[in-house]
Structure 1
Amino acid sequence: MTSADVSTVLNRILDTAAENLRVAKILIQLGLDPNNVTWEAIFNRFLEIFLANITLANLFALIGAIFFVATLLTQTMVPLRVANMIGCAFYAGFGALTGTITTFLLYLLLIPINAWRLRQMLHLVKMARTATQGDTSMEWLKPFMSERKYKKGDVLFKKDDVANEMFMTITGKFLVKEINVELPPGNIMGELGFLSPDNRRTATVQCLEDGQVLTITYEKLLEIYFQNPQFGYYFLVLTSQRLLENIARLQAEVAQNKIALEAVAAGGEK
């Protein structure tokens, strides 16, 4: 193709665009008379278009759009999922009424996906609430965790190491060396590193016998928190309970040592 041909094609494109974008032609496409454009004529034309499109299908689309806008304004995940499901239901109805099979199937499939994620999040919050009422286990976190195995003698982490994940013991025994406490299956460890300002380990944990743990990264915990801040509150309550248990254990040891020292002192005086 020569430069003359390219120039001719470009000129035709520009001429056609200019023709199609003329105000007069746009007014004709809108159903208005270019020689008699008044505010009343514009209002009446748009009123005609509005009345002509008042159908059940378009009503469904409008309601669906309102709920989708609501998802953009929602700050937490649970109401967002609910609004999204309602919006998808109305858009699926719009697709069915207009015979648009792709729109119908797309939004129909999104409903169970959102329902499953909503159920998962509600279950998470329910289990966390139950835990704060007495059961300090974190079983509800298992679906979000990955499996890892350790051999006897393995050190999971050392005091002052950079912390980036939390553990839950499944099998085996693990020793917190600084306080000489064994952690049987069903216990969590490494949660305090998530709360410390510099994300450092507060103790060393070693595997006493072959065992299996589940792990979850702090990034995943943050993701769960931002999806539902209510979960973050329950998690803080649980970790606070763990911290208070450790403090009570240390206080008991200090009291025992004090009694032992007093007994030794009393024996020496005799």
Structure 2
Amino acid sequence: MLAASTVDISSILNRILDTAADNLRIAKILVQIGLDPNNITYEALFNRLLEIFLANITLANMFAVIGAIFFVATLLMQTMVPLRIANMCGATFLAAFGALSGNVGTLALYLLSLPINAIRLRQMLKLIKKARTATQGDMSMEWLKPFMTERKYRKGDVLFKKGDAANEMLLTVTGKFLVKEINVELPPGRLMGELGFLTPNNRRTGTIECLEDAQVLTITYERLLEIYFQNPQFGYYFLVLTSQRLLENIARLEGIVAQQKAAEQTAKGDLA
């Protein structure tokens, strides 16, 4: 039984190879395109190819060629915004080709890709706009929300502790949180965990506790990296945000040191 099945498979493969070899013979290909294999010249070949080309110059095929050019252009682009624009142009022409040629599958495929590319392009443009306004002091994080996911905490929950492995950044939406090491409350609209993204070993730099039922938005460091590589302007914007936090921490520490020095001087004056 096994030998019979082996013979059958072998014979089938041989037939397939023989048929493929026969179909790929140059003489048969020349006959298929309307040329005489026994009387072939460069002029005859050129004229026949020209006839085929002219016969296929239709509006649908022109749209297909233009769409293909835009598609190839997307493979050569290094930044996301031009890539999305070229992709939308290519999808438009290829959808027109599908409509004119009656190819429903092609029409549906590229029509569906248009709104997806449009939404992503809009998100990227908003991201770039926010990045460019970062130098003017706009510290809003609204632009990042479409890339984040919602999470809820209850009063007393510890989000993370100092020294824990860090893999995401959080944005407070409602409720209050306490940075225990420096006894600072974080109101809605503040970032948490962004410094762990910049530390060499991705470790938490503080302990965060939830003071009341709250809601946050989270984004992983991997997603942040994706956004950075898609739009390098985001890198500058993020550095501005984290630099502001570092400067606030430095100012807070300087205030604490100044208070301690003032207390020490006051104590020395009382002893004197």
* TM-score normalised over the length of structure 1: 0.89
Which residue of structure 2 lines up, in the alignment, with residue 21 of structure 1? 24
Partners of 2:16 and 2:134 in 1: how far apart? Answer: 69
2:231 pairs with 1:228 = yes
2:239 pairs with 1:239 = no
Describe the shift of the 1:185–1:18 C-alpha distance in structure 2 as closer, same or farther (beyond 3 A).
closer
Deviation of 1:68 (Å): 0.6
Match of 2:92 among 71, 89, 102: 89
Which residue of structure 2 lines up, in the alignment, with residue 210 of structure 1? 213
Partners of 2:104 and 2:16 in 1: how far apart? Answer: 36
- Give runs of aligned pairs for residues 1-270 of structure 1, distance below 5 A: 6=8, 12-269=15-272
Q: Contact 1:82/1:118 (CA < 8 Å) preserved in 2?
A: yes
Q: Contact 2:99/2:107 (CA < 8 Å) preserved in 1?
A: yes
Partners of 1:209 and 1:3 in 2: how far apart? Answer: 72
Describe the shift of the 1:12–1:117 C-alpha distance in structure 2 as closer, same or farther (beyond 3 A).
closer
C-alpha RMSD over aligned residues: 2.4
Letter in 2 for 1:112: P
Q: Contact 1:131/1:138 (CA < 8 Å) preserved in 2?
A: no
Deviation of 1:86 (Å): 0.3
Structure 2 residue ranges without an equivalent (≥5): none
Q: Choose 70-79 or 7-16, whichever is displaced more.
A: 7-16
Q: Contact 1:172/1:184 (CA < 8 Å) preserved in 2?
A: yes
Deviation of 1:10 (Å): 5.8
Deviation of 1:38 (Å): 2.6
Letter in 1 for 2:219: I
Deviation of 1:118 (Å): 1.0
Q: Contact 1:164/1:217 (CA < 8 Å) preserved in 2?
A: yes
Deviations 1:112-163 (A, max 9, x none): 2211121122223323444442232312222222222222222111111100
Partners of 2:169 and 2:128 in 1: how far apart? Answer: 19
Deviation of 1:88 (Å): 0.6
Partners of 1:70 and 1:15 in 2: how far apart? Answer: 39
* TM-score normalised over the length of structure 2: 0.89
Q: Choose 184-193 or 17-26, whichever is displaced more.
A: 17-26
